């Protein structure tokens, strides 16, 4: 088996908090305690929309979001969005969903949207969860959260412009996701990220050596294929050897506890060592 077919693309998705019920929670305002809330509506030239800001401290894929909504009109349709932050206000839309509210639960209920199939990845930053409506007949109540002093923003022109962040009672909501870890330096010497060590990588390393400039930690980590903390001719020799013979151990090993209670290895330590020669990719995460 050659080097390329030995490539292991390793993506370990583990959850943010240890317990199975809350381990994926990125943001939660708590469950509303009353039926009072913000009136979300859209007029011909004015309206009212609200947005809660939440912060992501690691790289996550979104799995779901939920909003507690009621209604004053006979029928109502909410437009719920995940947005980037733009100078402390809601910015570009990342994802949006239309939610048809249930008239039999006009006082309010939790509406949850699954995002598992959308592969939405959030890097560490601030983001916004926004509720608005695009039709003039809908009058939506975004129920108040039981706590205050959350970062929020509002719009009076149907979501075209937004106020800068203020702190007050948010609309009651939650956001869930799965944290992602990408192991560093799986393929030492691969300077262009194509999962191969070849002559183009050697040319890059030779250029770095000839320049004689101080390397960034990331450059040194990737180029120092011998792992001696220096970038020199020994790394070039090793790269040539890798091209001719392949890496002795191109797969990083690890051991993590299987926390999926539906798995046959639940509670056991698992990793590449357990499936050697059987698979070329591993995914550990929470399904559903």
The domain at 25-57+64-114+123-179 falls in which architecture?
Sandwich (2.60)
Task: Report the candidate in 11, 8, 138, 162 with the shortest Cα–Cα distance to residue 87.
Answer: 162
Give the burial class of 127: count Cβ atoms within 10 A of its Cβ; 0-12 exposed, 13-18 middle, 19 or more buried.
Answer: buried
For 139, the token pair is 């009058």
Paired tokens of 205:
């390393």
pLDDT given at position 267: 81
CATH 1.10.1330 correct for 186-245: yes
Task: Classify residue 160 as left (phi > 0), alpha (psi -120 to 50) or beta.
Answer: alpha
Position 246 scores a pLDDT of 66
Domain boundaries, given as residue ranges, for the chain: 25-57+64-114+123-179, 186-245, 252-284
- The predicted structure's pLDDT at residue 2: 37
Q: CA 86, CA 127: separation in Å to the nearest integer?
A: 9
Over the chain (288 residues), the average pLDDT of each successive run of 10 is: 33 30 75 96 92 93 95 97 96 97 96 90 95 95 94 95 96 90 66 80 88 79 82 87 68 68 82 71 56
């Amino acid at each position: 088996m050659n080097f390329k077919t030995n490539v292991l693309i390793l993506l370990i998705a583990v959850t943010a908090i240890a317990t199975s019920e809350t381990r994926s929670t990125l943001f939660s305002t708590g469950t509303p305690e009353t039926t009072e809330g913000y009136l979300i509506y859209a007029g011909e030239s004015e309206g009212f929309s609200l947005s809660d800001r939440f912060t992501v401290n690691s790289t996550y894929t979104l799995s779901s979001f939920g909003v507690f909504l009621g209604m004053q009109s006979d029928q109502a349709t909410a437009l719920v969005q995940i947005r980037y932050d733009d100078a402390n206000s809601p910015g570009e839309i990342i994802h949006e969903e239309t939610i048809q509210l249930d008239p039999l639960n006009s006082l309010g209920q939790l509406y949850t949207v699954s995002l598992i199939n959308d592969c939405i990845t959030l890097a560490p930053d601030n983001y916004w969860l926004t509720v608005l409506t695009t039709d003039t007949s809908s009058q939506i109540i975004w129920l108040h959260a039981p706590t205050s002093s959350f970062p929020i923003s509002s719009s009076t022109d149907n979501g075209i412009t937004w106020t800068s962040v203020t702190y007050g009672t948010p609309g009651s909501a939650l956001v869930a996701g799965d944290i992602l870890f990408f192991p560093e330096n799986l393929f030492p010497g691969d300077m262009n990220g194509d999962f191969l060590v070849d002559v183009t990588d050697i040319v890059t390393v030779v250029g770095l050596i000839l320049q004689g400039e101080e390397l960034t930690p990331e450059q040194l980590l990737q180029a120092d294929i011998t792992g001696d903390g220096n970038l020199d001719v020994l790394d070039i020799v090793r790269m040539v050897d890798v091209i001719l013979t392949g890496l002795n151990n191109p797969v990083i090993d690890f051991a993590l506890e299987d926390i999926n209670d539906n798995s046959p290895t639940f509670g056991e330590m698992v990793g590449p060592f357990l499936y050697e020669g059987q698979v070329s990719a591993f995914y550990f995460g929470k399904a559903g």
